[in-house]
Structures are given as structure tokens and as C-alpha cells.
Amino acid sequence: MSRPNIILTGFMGSGKTTVGKLLARQLNYLFVDTDHLIEQRCGMSVQEIFKNKGEATFRQMEAEIARELGAGEGMVIATGGRLMLDPLNAQVLGAQGSVYCLAAQPDEILQRVARSAQGQRPLLDTSNPLERIVDLIREREEGYARFTQISTSGKKPQQVMQDILAQLQPR
């Protein structure tokens, strides 16, 4: 029996990793975080990759990961915030599963990222991080709109997982 992948995309702090792990456990799927996979392979953080190898190299690694994972099944895949904005990556990953874009209000994203143990977020290293979040979400809005939207604002991760599971039910 086929076990289509579940791909979670969206802005940083939207809940992709937290909800993805819950979904994987619930469905007995493998959980994969694309940024973490790249970090493991390179032996350095995403921030270090950007600094030492450049964004183009990082995006190339994302594309390679998308091709690899797109051939598999039975996975919940949490993508980096921009991975699915590339049409080829979206096509390759989306062909073997369902794509959900997790979204939250900018102030809630800022609170979550501030609490995150994942360290610095270079995109938010600015005097007004909330304004930066609003600007980045606006820039990505059109790309994210191609996917089924799931709001995580004001919800516990378990509720978001239930929202996604309800979407997965046969139509």
C-alpha cells in the first residue's frame, strides 16, 4: 500500500518541525527536516554554510535533497522556509505527497523564534525583527499560496496535527 509523503513548508517558526515530528509519530512515518539533513551532510550549521559556501551552494544542496526525498514514501518532510518556493523543488517533492503550508501571525512567529533553542536566525538579525518577518512573509506570500494553508496561530501542535490529518482523509 502506498504511503504518500507529507511535506510541510512555511515561514520559520510556523511549527513545521514540531508538528512534523508529531505527525510522523502518529502515522509511523520517518521524520526528515531538510535543513537538519543538509547540516548533517556538511558538518556545519545552515548559517555557517551561508557564510562559508554561499547561498547558491545551499540552494543547490536543497535541490539535491528534494530530488532524493521526492523518490521516497512514508515520510513527513519539514522543509526550509524557501525550499518549496522553487517550482522544481515543489514539483519533485509534491509529486509523491501532499504539501501543507503552515502559517502563523508575525508576532507569534517572533515569539516562537525568540524561544527557539536553535540559535541565531540571520534573517532576523535586524533592529526591527517583527517588521522583517512581515516583509519576508509578504515576499513569499504568492509562492506559499500554491499549497494547502494550515494556520498554527493560537493552536497547540496537537491541534495543528489534527487539522492536517483531517485534510488527509479520503475525499
CATH homologous superfamily for 5-157? P-loop containing nucleotide triphosphate hydrolases (3.40.50.300)
- Kindly list the domain boundaries of the chain, sorted by start residue: 5-157
Which of 16-20, 103-107, 125-129, 152-156 is predicted with the least confidence, judged by mean pLDDT?
125-129
**Considering Cα of 87, then 78, then 150, then 123, what sign does the dihedral take?**
negative
Query: Which amino acid appears at position 18 of this protein?
Result: T
Could you report the per-residue pLDDT of 65-123, keeping only the tens digit for each? 999 999 999 999 999 989 999 999 999 999 989 999 999 999 999 888 877 654 566 66
CA-closest candidate to residue 65, choices 93, 102, 97, 96: 93
The residue written with cell numbers 512515518 in the block is 29
Mean pLDDT for 36-47 is 92
Q: What are phi and psi of 154, to 5 degrees?
A: 70, 10
DSSP state of 43: T
Neighbours of 26 (CB within 10 A): 14
Neighbours of 41 (CB within 10 A): 12
Q: Provide, rounded to the nearest whole percent, the portion of the chain with pLDDT above 90.
A: 76
Name the most confidently modeled range: 22-31, 50-59, 110-119: 22-31
Beta strands 30-33 and 75-78 are parallel
